[in-house]
């Protein structure tokens, strides 16, 4: 008996996935629960476990992007069934998985593969470096020279664990200069595919399906930064160095209590206002090369029920899971309002017009604080001012409640004791 293995649906909004890496060789016997494949969605890559026990036949090769429900492999009960499945699909071991007893014929590498080989210090057609796509990505992220990595995968193939072992042992070389592009004056060409394509699609859909209005103001956070300094001084007893973002999240929760209309999503023909505050955190992560990055929105649930220290600990744990590829599908769903902070990235005083994380109807975009002279308590005084940008969906919420929310948020940031009330 054979059982098909389909591209899994790992999140509610997932329509397609990329078969990033087979974790077991063609025809290997696996048990229920064994990690067998890395599937990449528009947000993150997941190690998927075997739902069945049997001999696993690969239907699709690594790198293929297919709709959810497409058959990507087959579980065979016996070796005889495995051979029949391989015969039916015209496949034995896949061409890019050489075995010790059988080496595939080398063909002229494509231009993209030539680039990878040259970056790794190998010459096309010479000592070829065989590595999985995920291993190449991890090598790029960790600045590891693949020519210095010994593969432990089938046929000596370099897999993710091999690259991480080198990275963790500090045997990391400097990343070489970018390859010259085909066109004079061009540094690099970044294909609009994979996560980049998914981000582009979501941003376009957000702008097309909503009536987005943006605005900017500055909040005096001098006292908030003084409060943070006192909290940092107690980091040992608190168990964490409370971040400015955690204080901003707490301030957002305080403002939402006064104006719950901003804590909402559009669902079909309805605007759904939520009681609990689930903050979507825009996270920028390194991707496949020196000029590439990817954007994900990780979700911190029920922050309105948390104290400041718990918010900080839970946020850092969530971001650590996302940036290290250990996040679950649930970590990216269910946001009710979004925080997109560029503090420390852009110049002091920078403002922006953040794009809505649709279907959320509101996004808050604080930037890097700047010191300005201001009138305070009847006299001029230098104050630390936080630029705050925001965008809302004017189809779903009017300007008056947005103004009230921004006033409440500004007051909580200016007078942080209000967050404790």
Q: How far apart are CA 219 and CA 416, in angstroms?
A: 11
Q: How far apart are CA 76 and CA 152, in angstroms?
A: 25
Query: Which has the closest alpha carbon to 65: 228, 233, 195, 219?
Result: 195
Q: Which two tokens stand for residue 384?
A: 């630390």
**405 in a structural domain:** yes
Q: How far apart are CA 388 and CA 410, in angstroms?
A: 9
Query: Which has the closest alpha carbon to 396: 255, 206, 195, 169?
Result: 206
Half-sphere exposure of 401 (CA within 13 A, CB side): 17
Q: Which two tokens stand for residue 153?
A: 């995968």
Same domain for 267 and 402, yes or no, is yes
| 154 Cβ contact list (under 8 Å, min separation 6) | 25, 93, 97, 98, 99
Per the structure, how many domains does the chain have? 3
Same domain for 226 and 351, yes or no, is yes
Q: How far apart are CA 310 and CA 79, in angstroms?
A: 53
**332 in a structural domain:** yes
**95 in a structural domain:** no
Determine the pLDDT at residue 183. 65
Same domain for 238 and 282, yes or no, is yes
Determine the pLDDT at residue 105. 35
CATH label of the domain that carries residue 63: 2.40.50.100
Determine the pLDDT at residue 101. 36
Question: For the chain, what is the radius of gyration of the CA atoms?
Answer: 25
Q: How far apart are CA 416 and CA 308, in angstroms?
A: 12
Task: For the beta carbon of residue 179, count every other beta carbon within 10 angstroms.
Answer: 13
**Residue that finishes a domain, picked among 131, 155, 189:** 189
Same domain for 254 and 362, yes or no, is yes
| 85 Cβ contact list (under 8 Å, min separation 6) | 2, 57, 74, 76
Give the range of the structural domain holding residue 223, as residue numbers without chain letter: 194-420
Contact 139, 163 (CB under 8 A): yes
**Residue that finishes a domain, picked among 164, 189, 214:** 189
Contact 315, 300 (CB under 8 A): yes
DSSP string, 175-192: PPPPPPPSSTT------S
CATH label of the domain that carries residue 371: 3.30.559.10
Same domain for 120 and 221, yes or no, is no
**Residue that finishes a domain, picked among 189, 217, 252:** 189
**110 in a structural domain:** yes
Same domain for 221 and 332, yes or no, is yes
Same domain for 237 and 287, yes or no, is yes
Q: How far apart are CA 272 and CA 292, in angstroms?
A: 36
Q: Splitting the chain (421 residues) into consecutive groups of 10 residues, what average pLDDT does each group show?
A: 88 80 91 88 77 93 88 92 84 42 35 36 49 73 79 74 78 49 70 74 89 96 95 95 96 96 92 96 72 82 95 94 81 94 90 93 96 88 96 95 97 91 65
Same domain for 137 and 240, yes or no, is no
CATH label of the domain that carries residue 109: 4.10.320.10
Does the N-terminal peptide bond of residue 359 adopt cis geometry, omega within 30 degrees of 0? yes
Query: Which has the closest alpha carbon to 44: 380, 331, 352, 384?
Result: 331
**94 in a structural domain:** no
Same domain for 134 and 227, yes or no, is no
């Amino acid at each position: 008996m054979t059982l098909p293995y389909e591209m899994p649906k790992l999140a509610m909004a997932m329509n397609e996935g990329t078969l990033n890496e087979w974790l077991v060789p063609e025809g290997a016997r696996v048990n229920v629960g064994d990690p067998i494949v890395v599937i990449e969605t528009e947000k993150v890559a997941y190690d998927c476990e075997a739902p069945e026990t049997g001999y696993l036949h690969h239907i699709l090769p690594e790198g293929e992007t297919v709709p959810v429900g497409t058959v990507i492999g087959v579980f065979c009960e016996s070796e005889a069934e495995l051979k029949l499945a391989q015969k039916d699909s015209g496949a034995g071991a896949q061409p890019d998985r050489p075995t010790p007893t059988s080496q595939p014929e080398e063909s002229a590498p494509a231009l993209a593969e030539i680039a990878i080989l040259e970056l790794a210090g190998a010459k096309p057609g010479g000592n070829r470096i065989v590595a999985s796509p995920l291993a190449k990505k991890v090598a790029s992220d960790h600045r590891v020279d693949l020519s210095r990595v010994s593969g432990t995968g089938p046929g000596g193939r370099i897999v993710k664990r091999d690259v991480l072992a080198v990275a963790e042992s500090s045997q990391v070389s400097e990343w070489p200069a970018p390859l010259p592009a085909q066109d004079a004056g061009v540094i690099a060409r970044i294909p609009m595919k994979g996560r980049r394509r998914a981000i582009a699609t979501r941003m376009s859909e957000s702008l097309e399906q909503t009536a987005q209005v943006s605005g900017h103001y500055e909040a005096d956070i001098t006292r908030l930064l003084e409060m943070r300094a006192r909290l940092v001084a107690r980091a040992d007893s608190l168990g964490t160095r409370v971040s400015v973002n955690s204080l901003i999240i707490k301030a957002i929760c305080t403002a939402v209590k006064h104006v719950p209309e901003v804590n909402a999503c559009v669902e079909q023909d309805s605007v759904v206002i939520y009681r609990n505050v689930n903050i979507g955190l825009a996270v920028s992560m390194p991707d496949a090369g020196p000029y590439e990055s990817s954007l994900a929105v990780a979700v911190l649930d029920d922050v309105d029920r948390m104290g400041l220290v718990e918010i900080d600990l839970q946020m850092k744990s969530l971001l650590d899971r996302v940036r290290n590829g250990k996040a679950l599908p649930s970590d990216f769903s269910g946001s009710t309002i979004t925080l997109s902070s560029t503090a420390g990235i852009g110049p002091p005083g920078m403002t922006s017009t953040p794009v809505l994380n649709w279907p959320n109807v509101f996004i808050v975009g604080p930037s890097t604080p700047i010191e300005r002279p201001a009138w305070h308590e009847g006299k001029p005084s230098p104050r630390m001012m936080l630029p705050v940008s925001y965008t809302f969906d004017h189809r779903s919420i009017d300007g008056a409640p947005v103004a009230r929310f921004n006033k409440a948020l500004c007051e909580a940031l200016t007078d942080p004791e209000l967050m404790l009330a």
